Every structure is written in structure tokens, then in C-alpha cells.
A and B are shown apart, each in its own frame.
With several copies, the nearest count.
Chain A
């Protein structure tokens, strides 16, 4: 067991979903962010 980073892994890693599937969920989070910043004008759905 060493402290080397021999295993090269490219982040992000996806489990149980394709990268595209994160887009819709990510945009919902983004809407919450804009709301928190008071920047959600005309986007209330």
C-alpha cells in the first residue's frame, strides 16, 4: 500500500446513470440556485 496515485481515473465517474441523465436533474438544481440569488424571473414553472 503506497501513497502513489498509480491508478489513473478520469473524474467524474458515473454510477447507474449516463452523463446526459444528470443534465435535467442538474438544471433543476440550477433553478434552485437562481431562485436563491433572486434571479429566477420568468422561470417559475
Chain B
């Protein structure tokens, strides 16, 4: 394999975010048949005063395809700033790639939302191509205030 995992990873991110922007209905082509996706729950209205967004979990390429098609408008409006990427090899014989991304995203008219995302790429079986097997996003609040009344655990 000629390319480093960084090169493959960055090229993937370029394709991934570009396709969201240009053709959401084809984003699911990047996923494996049994992929799992935890992504922005677009069915819930964004709360203007909240600095995080809820997520929803989907399993399988078909459900993922429906998700991106149904939320076509929002998905294509997504704007992303990536602040860091960490890469590791993973899976059998380390032929897969794990990417840990941090950054901010927004949609027209919204504030920025800070997020972390983990994506796992596995060799697709075709020469030098990869499928997404896992994709998890989690939004990060600011946690600005010091803890004054910490909840007790039971």
C-alpha cells in the first residue's frame, strides 16, 4: 500500500463532506452493508438556547441511505471545520483506519456546534478502496460554569 493512513484519511474526509454537500442521497454509498451510524437527529428541532444537538443511531446501509435522503436539505447545508484528526490502524491485520475528528459545524442560521466524531474505514475488498463500517458523532457543550451543585451518584 503506497498511501499513508493520513493520506487515505484526509482524502476520505474530503469525499465524505463534499458528497454531503453535493449529493446527500449518495453518501450512503460510502458505508458498508452492515455499517452503524450515530448522527445528528434532524427530526428534532434545534433548540436555539442549547449548545449541543441530539443524535440518533442507525444500523445498515439501507437505513443509512434513507436517513441521508430524508434529511437531504439539512445534510447538504452542513458546513464543517475540522480542528484535529488522529489516526490509527485497526481491524484484522491492521488494514482498517480509525479516525478521531474534533471540530465545529453549523447550518445556515445556526450557531456553531462543537463535535467529536469517530469513523472506521475497512478495506472494501476492491483494490485500495475503503468502506465506512462505523461513524459516531457526539456534540460537546461548553460546560462553562464551575460545578457548584454536583449531583450525587447512587
Interface residues of A (CB under 8 A from B): 1-7, 9-17, 19-23, 25-33, 35-37
**A12 close to B79 (CB less than 8 A):** no
Interface footprint category on B: 35 or more
Of the stretches B25-33, B64-72, B103-111, B127-135, the one at the interface is B103-111
Q: Name the interface residues of B13-42: CB closer than 8 Å to any CB of A.
A: 13-14, 17-18, 20-21, 36
| Given known contacts A3-B59, A11-B82, A30-B146, A22 and B6 CB-to-CB distance under 8 angstroms | no
Q: Name the interface residues of B138-154: CB closer than 8 Å to any CB of A.
A: 142, 144-147, 150-154
Can you pick out 27 interface pairs between chain A and chain B where the beta carbons lie within 8 Å of each other? Answer: A3-B57, A7-B6, A7-B7, A10-B153, A13-B81, A15-B14, A15-B17, A15-B79, A16-B17, A16-B78, A16-B80, A17-B81, A19-B150, A19-B152, A20-B150, A22-B147, A25-B111, A26-B112, A28-B110, A29-B51, A29-B111, A29-B113, A30-B146, A31-B111, A33-B144, A36-B145, A37-B144
Determine the main DSSP class of B at the interface with A: mixed
Kindly report which residue of chain B lies nearest to residue A21, judged by CB atoms: B79
Contacts of A26 in B (CB 8 A): 104, 111-112, 146-147
